[in-house]
């Protein structure tokens, strides 16, 4: 039972994190674009900022929505129904964190990159919980 509760907490965490982040990019697209153009101005990715913002926005929204759906299925129908969706959610969340980590490292924002592994570990714990349940 505690493993299922822990998985629910991780799914809720990821849903909040990625839905908020994705919607922030949607509603303040221009502000994010301007900030990221400056952030990547001295990196090999400087010409790809528009593509990266759109891709990351879609990836974050997919991560958040799939996490929310996994949580809804977990609460409403149980672990057996939630497990496939939760697996996809953890794959999307992990991919999002890897993309963010890659971008921060390429921009030489080592302080920003240093915070991402903690989030990534939470997604990995989600995978472990899914394999144990």
pTM: 0.92
**For position 119, what pLDDT does the model report?**
97
How many folded domains does the chain comprise? 1
Domain that holds residue 36: 2-132
**For position 45, what pLDDT does the model report?**
86
Q: What is the mean pLDDT of each run of 10 residues along the chain (133 residues)?
A: 94 98 95 89 89 95 98 96 96 97 94 96 95 90
**For position 133, what pLDDT does the model report?**
85
CA 67 – CA 71 distance, rounded (Å): 6
Task: Output the DSSP codes for 33-73.
Answer: HHHHHHHTTTSTTGGGHHHHHHHHHHHHHHHHHHHHHHHHH
């Amino acid at each position: 039972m505690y493993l299922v509760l822990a998985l629910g907490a991780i799914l809720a965490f990821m849903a909040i994190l990625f839905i908020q982040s994705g919607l922030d990019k949607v509603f303040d697209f221009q502000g994010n674009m301007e900030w990221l153009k400056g952030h990547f101005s001295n990196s090999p990715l400087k010409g790809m900022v528009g593509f990266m913002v759109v891709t990351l926005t879609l990836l974050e929204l997919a991560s958040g929505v799939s996490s929310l759906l996994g949580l809804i299925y977990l609460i409403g129908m149980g672990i057996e129904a939630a497990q496939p969706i939760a697996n996809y959610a953890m794959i999307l969340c992990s991919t999002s964190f890897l993309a963010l980590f890659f971008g921060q490292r390429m921009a030489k924002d080592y302080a920003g990159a240093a915070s991402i592994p903690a989030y990534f570990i939470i997604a990995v714990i989600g995978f472990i919980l899914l394999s144990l349940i």
